[in-house]
Structure 1
Amino acid sequence: MTGAAILDVARDGIATFLKVGGPLMLVALAVGLVVSLVQALTQIQEQTLVYVPKIVAVFGAMLLCLPFMADALASYMGRIAVRIATGG
């Protein structure tokens, strides 16, 4: 396996990771930002208040994005399996 092939596999893996994890991280970021804004506006300084809405939002986003995430991971595994079967 050449260095270029290894870089292609790594680049494909990172792109797949970003496709799978990106939406969940963006949802967590948005919910955290909204909760922090509400805390700043109402002057509620409870540090643990952000966890429940963030967990619920990420769980809901995971349920919505699960087919897309599974498809992205399955297609990545298929591409890796083809590379293994063809010898690189």
Structure 2
Amino acid sequence: MQVGDVITVARQTIWVIVKTSVPLLLVSMIVGLVISLFQTLTSIQEQTLTFVPKLLAIMLALMILGNWILSTIVEFMNNLWGNFATYIR
């Protein structure tokens, strides 16, 4: 296995990680921003107020996007395992 192959596999792995995690991170960030604005406008300074809405939003996003996330990871792993013979040379 050449150094270029290792770099290519590492680059593809990082891209799959970023591509599958960004939607959930964006949902968490948007919900946190909305709750922070709500806390600022109402002067409620409860630290634990953001936990439950973020958890529910991430669970909802996982229900909606879970199939796409899983199929992206499975496709990447099938591609990686399909080319395994070229990697061990």
Aligned length in residues: 87
| Amino acid in the other structure paired with 2:58 | V
Match of 1:87 in 2: 86
Question: 1-side partners of 2:70 and 2:48: how far apart?
Answer: 32
Partner of 1:14: 14
Percent sequence identity is 36
Equivalents in 1 of 2:77, 2:83: separation in Å? 10
1:30 is aligned to: 30
Q: How far has the Cα of 1:45 moved from its partner?
A: 0.2
Secondary structure (helix, strand or coil) at the match of 1:35 reads helix
**Counterpart residue type for residue 50 of structure 1:** T
Task: Indicate the RMSD between aligned Cα atoms, in angstroms.
Answer: 0.7
Paired AA for residue 63 in structure 1: M
Inter-partner Cα distance in structure 2 for 1:42 and 1:66: 35
2:71 maps to what in 1? Answer: 71
**C-alpha displacement of 1:82:** 1.5
* TM-score, scaled to structure 1: 0.95
Structure 2: runs of 5+ lacking an equivalent = none
Structure 2 length as normaliser, TM-score?
Answer: 0.94
What is the SS of the residue equivalent to 2:44?
A: coil
